Amino acid sequence: MGFWAVLLSSVVLSRCVQSERVVEKFIRDYYDAENIHHINAFGCWDDMDASEFSRKLMSLDNAVLYTPISPHVNLHRILKVNYHYIGVVLDYDCPMSDFILDKFSKELVFNESYFWLLLTNSSSPPNDVLQKLPLTVESELSVATSSGNSFELWDAYNPSYSHGGVLNVTYKGRWNPEDGLKNELNQYKYERRSNFNLLPLNWSIVLRSHPASDLELYLTTPVNRHLDTMSRYHYALVLHLRDFFNFTINLQIHESWGYLVNGTFGGLIGALMKGQADASVSSYQYKLERMDVVDYLVETLNVKLRFFFRHPRSNDLQNNFLKPFAIHLWWVIIAVGFFYWGIMVILKKFEIYYERIEENENTVSSTALTTIAAISQQGLSTPPTITSGRLVFFSLFLWTLLLFQFYSASIVGSLLAPPQRWITTLDNLTDSNLECVVEDMPYMVDYFATTANPHTKKLFERKIKATKKKPKGSYMPAIEGIQRVREGGFAFHINVAAGYKIIEDTFKENEICELQQIDMVGQCLTSMVTAKHSPFNEMFTWSVRKAVESGLTKRLDRVWNQQCPQCPKSYSSKPTPVSMQQFSPAIFLLLIGFGSSFLILLIEYLHYWKCSDYLSNVEDTNSVAGTDGTEEEQSYMVEGFHVADDGQAVIF
């Protein structure tokens, strides 16, 4: 009898040891398949079994910690470690296993960092207990039900416990000592968990324009695409996510993206931080202060922000009639003109001396007028008589002819060629006389307040910031700003997606061809965001990246973003008409000539009238003083007048 008792005990002990070895091998294979090497086990085993369990697993380079289940267990100290993935084994058949699950639910989160494995001898998972756990779509919790030396695995998750989701338990695979682990869930986790069963998720969107009709119609219909372009573009992308994951959208509207003011965020980001929203429809630029409060998804849109203006036809700082020649060449032309003038004065003196010609006019002034007439391509009334003078005149007129040909050809060529554009950088725009205004958007106010770009700061200080005349600064709505651009002399900064649409609808062909664009912000890649540590972040990141790689975002870009209006190629062959502003220097010079000649004429008349009275008195005196009774021819020279014998005064 004693022999059979000992034999029976030996068999039972052998089976227990073999069973423990099966559990250890199963746990080892399971976590090796998940590539996890840090394991924390909770159970109600004795010290010997726990020591043997830890020793068997650690022999494979795994870090193993066994903790007995007790009311005083500190889960924060045990599980809050700097590992990205941690395996958590729980013997669910132990008396206080529910206490561990409940305590973990209150202190930590069932996210993808913790790979839970619940061991039970039951034939089915404990669905009633799992339904009460705050599981999410990213949770990693598997239930292993034992049947002899084999285990069946069940994958358990909830799309979102906090949103009223329903527990989903799916058969995952099996394990036995002979065949090892057989995982039948070969799809990517979020692809197989893509059915939310119309679970409502909270989305927030920023709208700056209030739709006059139905909100859904406004967001989904590509009419007036210049209004809320970025938000409507991303809403179309969210609709694809809705169809893929089968959830419904609970949409919240905000007027601001949310910016850091006095240490707190408002707007949409504030709603994400308070748990009022799960994700944003509107996209965000990457900023350092946002990294601590939200998680970014995938870059979906490159927002282009630029200045638009009609480039001036000419530089207002330069006379258009001086443009054909450089400044130093004008000085050379003036010097050569003076040189010819001096030569002609000398030759005129020689001509008067050798040809015995009476000098009846001022030589200096007459040669000056001749030089000016030659340069202006005018005729000559009194040509020189000596050969040397004729040669000088011939060279003068030949030189002025070539000069005039180059000058006029340059003027005509400048009108036929495309207008030169010199405002091509932000500094050029700052130094120009164009008025600069920015679209009234919160992100532009934040950009000017946080930018470190010296060129942008210079522009802001000189043309954008608030002044006494403009207490709110140089900001205005999009339509008004583009209309001012059309009128000319005005630069407006706007998102090109909105600007292109307004320009194409309102601008004429010549106005489009005169447009110039200058980038101020640079490349601005934006992405949708979720609340910090949101369970949906990884899922949405994967799905949006899939949309980007499949070309879906490119299609949405063609639908919602207006392309740049093109200037016809034939426009460059059209001559540029001369505007009044360009021709005004010639009119101004003509008016100066009229005014100067009239003033000189008035001075000459007053001088002649005064001298005529004086000459009349002199003539009367001489007539009385005559003694021979005969009239003698007399002439007088008085202050620039020659008085002939008949008493007439001639100006010389």
**Cα gap 249→247, rounded to integer Å:** 7
At residue 490, φ and ψ (nearest 5 deg) are -150, 135
Tokens of 218: 């406004």
158 SS3 class = coil
Element (H, E) at 525: strand 524-531
Give the global pTM: 0.74
Look at residue 15 in the predicted model and tell me its pLDDT. 36
CB 560 within 8 A of CB 225: yes
CB 75 within 8 A of CB 108: yes
Tokens of 434: 């164009």
Give, as one character, the DSSP assignment of residue 356: T
Angle, CA of 613, 619 and 621, to the nearest 5°: 105
CA distances from 151 to 28, 66, 142 (A): 13, 22, 12
Look at residue 574 in the predicted model and tell me its pLDDT. 63
> How many alpha carbons lie under 13 Å from residue 603 in its C-beta half-sphere?
6
Among residues 524, 531, 525, the alpha carbon closest in space to that of 290 is found at: 531
**Cα gap 23→17, rounded to integer Å:** 10
Residue with tokens 């692809």: 191
141 SS3 class = strand
354-404 pLDDT, tens digit per residue, is 666 665 566 677 777 777 777 777 766 666 767 777 787 778 778 887 787
Look at residue 600 in the predicted model and tell me its pLDDT. 85
CB 52 within 8 A of CB 81: no
**Cα gap 171→618, rounded to integer Å:** 137
Instruction: Spell out where 109-167 has E strands.
Output: 114-120, 140-147, 150-157
Look at residue 570 in the predicted model and tell me its pLDDT. 72
Residue with tokens 């639908």: 559
Tokens of 47: 């010290």
Q: Which segments of the chain have a pLDDT < 50?
A: 1-18, 317, 627, 629-643, 645-652
417 SS3 class = coil
150 SS3 class = strand
CATH of 17-193, one of 3.40.50.1820, 3.30.56.10, 3.40.50.2300, 3.40.50.620: 3.40.50.2300
Residues 6+ apart with CB under 8 A from 307: 426, 429, 436, 491, 492, 493, 517, 518, 519, 520
Residues 6+ apart with CB under 8 A from 358: none
Look at residue 509 in the predicted model and tell me its pLDDT. 87
Element (H, E) at 68: strand 63-68
Helix 552-560 vs helix 229-245: crossing angle, to nearest 10:
140
Torsion of CA 117, 120, 122, 123, to 10 degrees: 40
Look at residue 652 in the predicted model and tell me its pLDDT. 43
Look at residue 56 in the predicted model and tell me its pLDDT. 77
Query: What would you measure as the largest C-alpha separation in the chain, in angstroms?
Result: 195
Angle, CA of 321, 324 and 328, to the nearest 5°: 100
Give, as one character, the DSSP assignment of residue 453: -
SS (H, E, C) 633-649: CCCEEECCEEECCCCCE
Look at residue 157 in the predicted model and tell me its pLDDT. 95
Among residues 138, 280, 309, the alpha carbon closest in space to that of 207 is found at: 280
| H runs (alpha helix) in 173-303 | 189-192, 215-220, 229-245, 267-273
CB 249 within 8 A of CB 242: yes
**Cα gap 218→228, rounded to integer Å:** 10
Residue with tokens 């034999």: 7
**Cα gap 150→548, rounded to integer Å:** 43
Which sequence spans correspond to the domains of the chain?
Answer: 17-193, 327-416
Look at residue 60 in the predicted model and tell me its pLDDT. 60
Look at residue 52 in the predicted model and tell me its pLDDT. 80
